[in-house]
Amino acid sequence: MRPFRFGVALYVPGSREEWVAKCRRAEDLGYDVVGVVDHLGRAAPVPALLLAAEATERVRLNTYVLNASFHNPVLLTRDLVALDEFTGGRVEIGIGAGYVRAEFEAAGVDWGTPGQRFGRVADLVTEVERAFTGRPRPPLLLGGRGDRMLTFAAAHADTIALTGTAPGAAEGRLALAGPAALAERAGFVKRVLDGRDAELNLMVHFVRITDDRRAALDAAHQLVPHLDVEELGSLATVVAGSAEAAAEQLLRTRETLGVSYFTVLEDDLANLAPVIEKLH
């Protein structure tokens, strides 16, 4: 069974000093990976990770995840090669298809069909693999929900990221998949891996470490109203309760779904820390 890894996806740009402080705090709190999202209005991934490398000593640095539609594959890969070199090989490359249509429109990028968006991911992965021929390639993370993307990830990725979301997330809303749907996706990945070893990652969308679990789940329900409180309490993507209970939940998720690498968003940076302390 794989050991746990914990990542945080940062996104609020802020000043240089603020960014450095956040990255150092993540390392001090025990996170293994500092990631940067790829959304308009957020921190630009490559320069943000370069600064994160200068500010830290131990953590891995990943793009979580690059929107393949936003980038020219050849030019982006040039930057990723340089980033890998300048960070001493601490980079992990995460790539996805993008899911917020309004961002495509704001950037003047054709939304296209699901097949076209998948094709852009495949083109970028091909270019990354070509650019690192003859040298160690950084670990590759591919994330998604559909059969086509997960099958492709099973063939190419070192880490497969399960989104834990439902179709409503395609419009930029937080829509979480129920436990049966997430278990089905994890089972699908296991089948298409066909014995090949790969790490499984999951985004935990809500973390509250508290003695009042019911109040925390009520708060989660305000963010995810399409699921009732009881359903939210059974989700791997929602962590609410004491640090001990949360640690037990992640142990169960690793046992049942095979997920050993958990990522939270910047808002939950401090919230997950007590759980990391118990599981590292």
Estimate to the nearest angstrom the gap between the alpha carbon of 237 and the chain centroid.
Answer: 12
Q: Which residues share a beta bridge with 94?
A: 141
Query: Residue 155 pLDDT more than 50?
Result: yes
Coil, strand, or helix at residue 241?
strand
Q: Residue 12 carries which side chain, given as an amino acid letter?
A: V
Is residue 171 scored above 80 in pLDDT?
A: no
Give the model's pLDDT for residue 170. 46
Instruction: Report the interhelical angle of 114-131 vs 73-86 (nearest 10°).
Output: 50
Using omega within 30 degrees of 0 as the cis cutoff, is the peptide bond preceding 65 cis? yes
Averaged over 240-258, what is the pLDDT? 98
**Domain positions in the chain:** 5-205+259-279
pTM for the full predicted model: 0.96
- What does the block give as tokens for 133? 């021929």
Buried/exposed 166-182: b ≥16 CB within 10 Å, e otherwise: beebeeeebbbbeeeeb
28-50 tens-digit pLDDT: 999 999 999 999 999 999 999 99
Give the CATH superfamily of 5-205+259-279: Luciferase-like domain (3.20.20.30)
pLDDT at 25: 98
Distance CA 186, CA 29 (A): 29
